[in-house]
Amino acid sequence: MNKKKTVLDIQRMKEEGEKITVLTAYDYPFARLMSQAGIDVILVGDSVGSVVSGYDNTLPVTMEEMLYHTRAVVRGSGGALVVADLPFLSYQIDLRDARLNAGRLIKEGGAQAVKLEGGENVAATIHAIVDMDIPVVGHIGLTPQSIHRMGGFRVQGKKEEQARQLLADARAVQEAGAFALVLEGIPADLGRRITESVTIPTIGIGAGVHCDGQVLVIHDILGLCEKYSPKFVKKYADVSGIILGGIEDYIREVKAGEFPDDEHSF
């Protein structure tokens, strides 16, 4: 196994101009494959709600679900740094909740860092968690937990006034002590401006090529999520067809009495 990556390695990668690779995972087998492939960071995203649990958005995901998936991912994560998402309602009410739930993802889940959504509005929360020596990743732009305010999954920061607010958000997240920042669903040029204006690494998803790293949802890049595919998703493999083929072959062989054959019987 490769040496476990730490937040210091991720910060050093920005300094040395090495792109940071991040993918989401929600279980042990995917985490193992990602670690084997050499991924830098695994994000246990609350996107689990959409791509694994079949919800329309991430809002229903609970702390208990995040803890379950985080534990499974950590067991398979090898040398990758594991970041776990704080789900909706686990950090918005008060700082005590935020600190307790961040601590649970570290203590019970085994994650090395937590991620939460928001800019200036969550700066105090980030500060409170970092103050407990828990590394935090910020997340601004198209923040899925704010889907109802945004009126859907829409690109953010297209107007200069909104872009300036996102620049202020990025600086607030950095000043609050976050060690990295996810930029989601913003114009590529704004991704560049934010990346140049902060010293912490930016990890883009639909935020252009100038970010210090990129993150995508594993089910999206493998063609496992047919419901909805945003423009920024590139399908690197089409696994659905392979899975479907295997299941159909199994059904056909059982129906025909061909399975189990002698080779698979005692």
* Segment interacting with ligand KIV (CB under 6 A) among 28-36, 40-48, 164-172, 238-246: 40-48
Task: Find the binder of ligand KIV among 25, 123, 205, 211 (CB under 6 A).
Answer: 205
Specify the 3-state DSSP secondary structure of 44: strand
Is there binding between residue 182 and ligand KIV (CB under 6 A)? Answer: yes
Is there binding between residue 13 and ligand KIV (CB under 6 A)? Answer: no
Choice between 76 and 213, CB closer to ligand KIV: 213
Task: Find the binder of ligand KIV among 215, 218, 222, 225 (CB under 6 A).
Answer: 215
Name the active-site residue from 108, 160, 184, 263.
184
State the nearest-atom distance from the C-beta of 50 to ligand KIV, in Å: 8
Specify the 3-state DSSP secondary structure of 182: strand
Is there binding between residue 46 and ligand KIV (CB under 6 A)? Answer: yes
For residue 129, give the nearest of 144, 113, 141 by alpha carbon.
113
State the nearest-atom distance from the C-beta of 175 to ligand KIV, in Å: 22
What Cα–Cα distance (Å) separates residue 25 from each residue in 80, 121, 149?
A: 11, 28, 27
Is there binding between residue 76 and ligand KIV (CB under 6 A)? Answer: no
Gap between the terminal Cα atoms of the chain: 36
Is there binding between residue 10 and ligand KIV (CB under 6 A)? Answer: no
What Cα–Cα distance (Å) separates residue 199 from each residue in 13, 119, 170, 212?
A: 12, 16, 10, 10
Local structure of residue 145 (DSSP, 8 states):
G
State the nearest-atom distance from the C-beta of 189 to ligand KIV, in Å: 20
Interacting positions 152-181 with ligand KIV (CB under 6 A): none
Using the structure block, give the residue that is written with the tokens 């114009």: 187
For residues 220 and 156, give the distance between their C-alpha atoms in angstroms, rounded to a whole number. 21
Is there binding between residue 217 and ligand KIV (CB under 6 A)? Answer: yes
What is the DSSP pairing of strand 20-24 with strand 202-205?
unpaired
